[in-house]
Amino acid sequence: MSDVTSVVGGAWTPAVRFLRDAAGIARSVRLGMAMQGLVKSDLSPVTVADYAVQALAGKRLGEGWPDIPLVAEESSDGLRGEQGAPVLELVTRFVAKLEQEATPDLICAWIDRGGQDNASVFWTLDPIDGTKGYLRGGQYAVALALVRDGIPVWGGLACPGLAEDGSPDAMASGLLVVAGRGQGAWAIPLDQDPSDSASWRALKVSRCADPARARLLRSVERSHTNEAQIEEIAQRLGVRAEPVLMDSQAKYVSLAAGAGEILLRLLSPDRPDYVEKIWDHAAGWIALTEAGGRVTDMNGRDLDFSQGRLMRSNKGLIATNGVLHDAVVQAVRQVTGFS
């Protein structure tokens, strides 16, 4: 395994610092808007945070890697004009705390860097992954990955609601995780200086090989998965513990840190044709695989990040500590009929 500095230092420093600062913005937006009573539907904290984090990404990544496009979900269309002015004003105010030159016009330009098309090399960002968790004070993540020729080669996640051991704890200082292809996955508390290489620790998955002792993670929102099938799969595997309910790619980090063994995201009966998006998995994928885990879709196929913004070649998700993967895939096939 390489030294942590090859993943968090040198050329990667701007991306690491962006993740830490982005988590700070997300926290500031949620707390600041709540204190000011700005929680109307047209001034949702998650809307402001999404735009603010993507604007910061457009600015920072554009400076550090001007020739590499950013692929993300938001555009400034909803901010332009009279109706979007209150949101744009708030976004500008929060971003200006870190980037003093921020103006409404610059904010829109920075956000729109995320509308670029995929190339052979590109960044992909989910500014606030886990919107419901963010709003309820639970799990969410800022997720960034660099994809080259259809494979994430570097990724990072800022997870404000995770404890140092990777377990969910909304009161914890949070965890910053980065991973590089062939260079391992590393974590540091969000409140520590990421330039202190001695404070980073290598992440390793749990080596639990007994399904009965496994901890299974799934989405809090029932509309994001198939709860009934997950319960049947757990019974087939003999899993005894109650599922751990978490939002966002923070679940990947929990598995990478050894705080769980199985993660399932099945097709919801309400959305049987749902197609996963690359920014929902790229950063988590590299963090978990570099920690020794394994990720496939429900058919046991590797995730394909080369098909544009949508992962049309894959259905659902199975992520494990690796040791249990084949047994979980078999149980999923038996219950869902996928093969």
The verdict on whether 50 is a catalytic residue reads yes
pLDDT, tens digit, for every residue of 24-56? 999 999 888 764 544 444 568 889 999 999 999
Q: Are 178 and 155 in contact (CB under 8 A)?
A: yes
Q: Nearest to residue 73, comparing CAs of 309, 326, 258?
A: 309
Q: Are 311 and 288 in contact (CB under 8 A)?
A: no
Per-residue pLDDT at 297 exceeds 90: yes
pLDDT class of 1 with cuts at 50, 70, 90: very low
Say what the alpha-carbon torsion angle 303, 128, 191, 215 is, to the nearest 10 degrees. Answer: -50
- How confident is the model over 204-214, as a mean pLDDT? 97
pLDDT class of 285 with cuts at 50, 70, 90: very high
10's CB contacts (< 8 A; 6+ apart) are none
Dihedral (CA of 201, 203, 207, 211) sign: positive
- How confident is the model over 232-257, as a mean pLDDT? 97
81's CB contacts (< 8 A; 6+ apart) are none
Q: Nearest to residue 42, comparing CAs of 106, 95, 85, 76?
A: 85
Q: What percent of the chain has pLDDT over 90?
A: 84
Identify the pLDDT of residue 32.
83
Edge-to-edge order in the sheet of strand 244-245: 244-245, 216-218, 262-265, 317-320, 294-296
The verdict on whether 131 is a catalytic residue reads yes
Domain boundaries, the chain: 5-199, 211-336
DSSP labels, 66-106 = TTS-EEES--GGGGSSTTTHHHHHHHHHHHTTT-TT--HHH
Identify the pLDDT of residue 38.
47
Per-residue pLDDT at 69 exceeds 70: yes
Q: Are 262 and 324 in contact (CB under 8 A)?
A: yes
Topology annotation, domain 5-199: Fructose-1,6-Bisphosphatase; Chain A, domain 1 (3.30.540)
pLDDT, tens digit, for every residue of 153-207? 999 999 999 999 999 998 999 999 999 999 999 999 999 999 999 999 999 999 9
Higher pLDDT, 116 or 230: 230
Identify the pLDDT of residue 310.
95
Per-residue pLDDT at 274 exceeds 50: yes
Q: Nearest to residue 336, comparing CAs of 266, 257, 259?
A: 266
pTM for this entry: 0.95
Cβ-count burial 82-99 (b if 16+ within 10 Å, e if not)? eebeebbebbbebbeebb
Q: Are 308 and 118 in contact (CB under 8 A)?
A: yes
Tokens representing 222? 């029932």
Q: How far does Cα 171 stand from its chain's mean position?
A: 19
Residue among 21, 47, 50, 126 flagged as catalytic: 50
Number of Cβ atoms within 10 Å of the Cβ of 207: 11
- How confident is the model over 325-330, as a mean pLDDT? 97
Tokens representing 234? 């757990």
Identify the pLDDT of residue 45.
85
Tokens representing 297? 């879709």
Identify the pLDDT of residue 277.
96
- How confident is the model over 129-137, as a mean pLDDT? 91
Cα–Cα distance, 15 to 21 (Å, whole number):
10
Pairing of strands 262-265, 216-218: parallel
Per-residue pLDDT at 82 exceeds 50: yes
Q: Nearest to residue 116, comparing CAs of 179, 154, 61?
A: 61
Identify the pLDDT of residue 270.
87
Which of the 8 DSSP states describes residue 40? S
DSSP labels, 117-131 = PP-SEEEEEEEEE-H
Residue among 124, 131, 225, 296 flagged as catalytic: 131
- Say which CATH architecture domain 211-336 belongs to: 3-Layer(aba) Sandwich (3.40)
